[in-house]
Structures are given as C-alpha cells and as structure tokens.
C-alpha cells in the first residue's frame, strides 16, 4: 500500500494566487481529514469527511478555504486568494471507519509558502 | 469538550537513559488514547494506542505507554533512549461514539543526546 499520497510536496506562491492541495487516501479508508501545522498554533484540524461528505468544517479558518471530496479516492483543499499567514504544512489523513478506535494514517504533507 | 495537555514543550535525555513524555487528557466518556511521532519533514506516524484492557500498552520502536484513569494520564515511556528517537511526539484522544475526530496535544520535542 502506498499510504496517503499528497501533492504537491512543496508549493511556493504569491499572495493573492489560488492554491490547490491534493490528497489520495488509502484505498478502503472512508474518512479523511485535513490538518494544518504551524509553529504558532501547532496541529489544527481543518475539516473532516466521512464517506465523501463533510462532517465538521468548524476548523476552516475563513471563507478563502474550501475543501471537496468528489469521490472516495480524492480530496482537494483550496485557498483562494492565498495570504502569507496561510504558510504552513498541510497534512491529509485517512482512517478505515469500521471500528471507532482505528488510528489515522497521515500523508507526508504539503509545505505551503505564500510570499 | 475533550482536551489533551502535553505540559513539556521539550524533553532532553541522554542516550541510554529512560525517557518519559507526559500527556494528560480531559474527556466526558471513555477515552481512546493515541501517541504519534513526527520526524523532521515527515507526516505523523502512529506509535501506539489504548482502547481498553491492560493499562500498559506496547507499541513501535520499543515505546510503551501507561493509561492511568485516576490521574487521567497516558505518559509515553521507553526504557533506553536512542539518538534516533529525537522527534516531535503528539498525544491524542478520541471519545467513544464521538466520531473519528482526534484532539491532539501541542506536541513535545524529544531531544536525545549522545
């Protein structure tokens, strides 16, 4: 199994540009999470999908952030327009939801730098 | 609401000495507790979890953790630290029947010196 796949691994963009981060969860996993990690705020949950449906998006910081999961094998996190304070490492994680105590599997992350 | 506290931002230990990384939690229900490790420029990796049963849980890389219900703690331990254990460690909690969302602690940086 290739694990959770995220792309790109690094993204450098200018303020005001649109940024799209991508995630492919582990096959057979039906819950997906987007996290953001910064030195100041640590690890924050942005949004959580179950069976492709957003369950909790209370962590999404602003309307500039949006996430979609069109099918069980793909999700995107979009920031439009991007701002320097969005610079962070964004992680995607997935879990097989057959038992509530399964562990989440994390992708390698996307390091976003907004200039 | 559930919460996790990792009271130490950093723990320093000499190689070969035992290590402890502390974690306390607050939940209104039966907790499921997890430890994850993050190496530089990598995602979080699962180390171990407590669901039920024996309070002492053994995990990857020789790590173990002890669930203490009365003290609401789940400290991570290892009898003999290695330099390669140096990383960022996260404790997390989930409450039974509360979905799959984890609440993470702020993380503790473990530095093992030769």
Beta-bridge partners for B19: B78
B56: its two tokens = 């002492």
Closest A-chain CA to B98: A100
Whole-angstrom distance, CA of residue A100 vs CA of residue A95? 9
Closest A-chain CA to B52: A101
What are the residues of chain B with a beta carbon less than 8 Å away from any beta carbon of chain A? 32, 34, 36, 41-46, 49, 51, 90, 94, 96-97, 99-102, 104, 106-107
Strand order in the sheet with A74-79: A5-7, A19-24, A74-79, A65-71
pLDDT in tens, B53-90: 899 999 999 999 999 999 999 999 999 999 999 999 99
Nearest alpha carbon to residue A38 among A54, A61, A4, A6: A61
* pLDDT at residue A85 in the model: 95
* pLDDT at residue B28 in the model: 83
The CA-to-CA distance between both ends of chain A, in Å, stands at 36
* pLDDT at residue B93 in the model: 92
* Per-state percent for chain A, helix, strand, coil, to nearest 5: 5, 55, 45
Residue B100 reports pLDDT greater than 90: no
Q: Strand locations in B1-114, DSSP E?
A: 3-5, 10-14, 19-21, 24-26, 31-38, 44-50, 56-58, 64-68, 73-78, 87-95, 103-104, 108-113
Average pLDDT over residues B44-52: 94
The DSSP code for A81 is S
* pLDDT at residue B98 in the model: 58
Whole-angstrom distance, CA of residue A43 vs CA of residue A36? 6
Across the A:B interface, residue pairs with CB atoms under 8 Å apart total 58
Average pLDDT over residues B30-45: 93
Q: Which residues of A touch B42 (CB under 8 A)?
A: 108-109
* pLDDT at residue A99 in the model: 67
User: Which residue shows structure tokens 């996790």?
Assistant: B4
| Residue B43 φ/ψ region, left for φ over 0, alpha for ψ in the -120 to 50 degree band, beta for the rest | beta
Closest B-chain CA to A99: B100
Whole-angstrom distance, CA of residue A63 vs CA of residue A60? 8
Please identify every stretch of chain A with a pLDDT value under 50, giving residue numbers as ranges.
none
Whole-angstrom distance, CA of residue A83 vs CA of residue A56? 24
CA-CA-CA-CA torsion sign (B1, B76, A99, A68) = positive
* pLDDT at residue B2 in the model: 82
| pLDDT category of residue B96 using cuts at 50, 70 and 90 | low
């Amino acid at each position: 199994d290739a694990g959770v796949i995220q792309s790109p691994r690094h993204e450098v963009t200018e303020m005001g540009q649109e940024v799209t981060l991508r995630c492919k969860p582990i096959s057979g996993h039906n819950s997906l999470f987007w996290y953001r990690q910064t030195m100041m705020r640590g690890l924050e949950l942005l949004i959580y999908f179950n069976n492709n449906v957003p369950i909790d998006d209370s962590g999404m910081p602003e309307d500039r952030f949006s996430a979609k999961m069109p099918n069980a094998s793909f999700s995107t996190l979009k920031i439009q327009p991007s701002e320097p304070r969005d610079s962070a490492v964004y992680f995607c994680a997935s879990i097989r939801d057959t038992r509530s105590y399964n562990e989440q599997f994390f992708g390698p992350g996307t390091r976003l730098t907004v200039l | 609401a559930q919460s996790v506290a990792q009271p130490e931002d950093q723990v320093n230990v000499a190689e070969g000495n035992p290590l402890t990384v502390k974690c306390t939690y607050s939940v209104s229900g039966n907790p499921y507790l997890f430890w994850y490790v993050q190496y530089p420029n990598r995602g979080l990796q699962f180390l171990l979890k407590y669901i039920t049963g024996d309070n002492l849980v053994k995990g990857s890389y020789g790590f173990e953790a002890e669930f203490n219900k009365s003290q609401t703690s789940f400290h991570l331990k290892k009898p003999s630290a290695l330099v390669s254990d140096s990383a960022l460690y996260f404790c997390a909690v989930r409450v039974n029947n509360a979905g799959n969302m984890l609440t993470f602690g702020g993380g503790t940086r473990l530095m093992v010196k030769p």
